[in-house]
Structures are given as structure tokens and as C-alpha cells.
Structure 1
């Protein structure tokens, strides 16, 4: 019996037993390490959620303040836009009134009047000017007046006006118009820059005074 037990013990490989034991301990350690990592991750996630929940009221307060600020700025901007729009409307109304007054004064004036650019082209003429020449108002716009106040009749007129525009000063000259019926009208033209004292001029405003009836 004793001999059999001794033979059985001798047949056992202690190295294998130690390796197996070590393997078991290693597996247990690896499992414990994975378990610890998982638990740590879960705990960190819980702490993060708890921190987020704790900070939520303060974040909501900050968001509320931001929204109130944005709404306030928006209301202020809308108010400024409305005030600016009202100011523009008031200015447009005033400018419209002034424009109507100037148009009425020019159109109803019995004195022939015109407004031209520094190139000499007419931008506007009144009815009295058209009656003086004996044509329609549209025929005098732009450079249409040159059909009646020809260069042959007024050889130095254009050069004189050009010089006056370059020097930003008033211009006066005799001018002759040949009417559609063939008669020639002699008149005195006076043109002033506008604005008068702040060159360059945006417009040139002129009047025509009849010097001698049509011949």
C-alpha cells in the first residue's frame, strides 16, 4: 500500500502543478483587473453625470441670462431701426416737399429757366424756355437745344461755358436761337454753379432774358 502511494506521488509532475497554479492565479488576476477597470469606468461615468446634474441649474441660469441679453439687444436693434426708418421717412417727406416747391417755382415762372450739367446738357427746362424757342420742352433736353442755338449762331458760347465750369464761376453771354419758324431770337443767358461756394458744382442753373424780339 505504501509502495503504491509512493509510486503515485513520484508520477506527479510538480512543474506542471506549479504552472497550472500560476496560470490559475494569472487568470484570476487578469479577471480582477478587467473587473476593476469596468467598475472604475462606471464610477467615473456616474461622477460625470452627477457633476452635470449638479451644474445644470447654474448652466440654465447662465443660458437664461444670455437669452435675455439677446432678446434685449434684439429689441434695442428693432427700436433703433424703427427710429431710423421714421427719420428717413420724415426726411423723404421734407425733400419731397422741397422738390415740389422748386418744381412749381421753376415751372410757373414766366422767365425761361433751365438746369444743366457741366457738359452743357440740359437736365430740366421750364415751359417759358420752350415758348421762347417755339418748341416742346423735350426738344430742349440734353443737347437738343443746340438744334436751335447752333454753333454757327453762337461761335464762342461753348468754349466760354466750358471755361466757366473749370473755374467754378458764373457765366453770362448773348445767345441766339433760331426758332422752327425761321425767326432768330436774341437773349441774354446767365448761368451759376450749384453749390456756388463748394466746388465741384453738381448742377448749373440758368435763366434766359429776352434781349430782342424775334426777327
Structure 2
């Protein structure tokens, strides 16, 4: 279990980010995409060339968001008393201290990454609310390749909004959207078979 003494000092930023990579590689994520996303973010942060040596505070915030999602998953599956949840919380607390130090070293008004996160959170809500309308529209139209392509593009947009958003409810919004899209896909398949049967 991680404790405050086993973590490297946040002032040694390169070593600390290496430690996060080591933890990410050893931790058993339920979704390999989540692990790759964390590794990609940390790698980008280590390549930051800011004179202060600190990464962009918004990038640290996005990393905290991803790791916090993993903590929520463990709490849901194993309960709050699980050692892995406490381990991740220690990591999150240290990252928050790193973020606070980065804000002092390179203050920003509104970073581009943060703006993207806010817009992505709004987009995930809009996609969820519009998915029933999209569902009805596709089922109203004759089943064609365009309908299948539109369904795939809508699903990709929902996934991208979830990945970029910093809203903790975005995974729920994306899950609802994808559930509606799944029902739409089933409806399209039934409509296709019904049209094909009537054409015989």
C-alpha cells in the first residue's frame, strides 16, 4: 500500500511522474484504454519543456480525473475499505499537491486543456439528450449504409466527449448514450430484415 513516505517528493517532478507510470503499469485496470490514457498523459507531461519544470496544471487536473475514475470503479466493485482505493487516494492527494505547486510556478487564467474539458462535458450532456431524437430519426429513415455510418460516428463522438471531459458524470452520460445507440442498432437490424423479407 502506498503511503506518504513511499512516494517520491513532488519537487522531484521527473522522478514523481516516473513513479506514476510505474504504478499505472502495475495496477490492474478493468479497461486497458484507461491505462493507456493515463500513460499517454504522463508521457506528455514528462516531455513538457516549461522552464519551471512543472507540467501544465490543467494536464495534471486531467490526470487526476482519470485516476479518480479508477478509484470510483474500485469503490463500486470492492467497497471503500479496499486497500487499492486507499492507495489511489494517496496518489491523488500527491497529484493535487503537485498541481498546486504547478499553479504557483506557471499560473494560467484559463488553459486550453481546461476549456476543452468543459466543452467536452457539455457535449456529452447534449449527445445524451439528443440520442433519443437520433434514435427516432434513424428508425424513421429507410435502413441504408448512411444510417450505419451515422450510428458509428455518433458513438465515436460520445466516446470522445467522455474521454476529454472532466465532469465526473460523463461516464454515466456516455453509458446512457451508448445504450440508446445499441437499441437503435437493434432497431435498424430488425428494420433491415423486415424490408428484406418484404422484398422477397
Which band: TM-score by shorter chain?
A: under 0.3
Larger radius of gyration between Structure 1 and Structure 2: 1
- TM-score w.r.t. length of structure 1: 0.21
Relative to total residues, which structure has the larger strand share, 1 or 2? 1
The TM-score, its normalising length taken from structure 2, stands at: 0.23
Structure with larger RCO (C-alpha < 8 A, sep 6+): 2
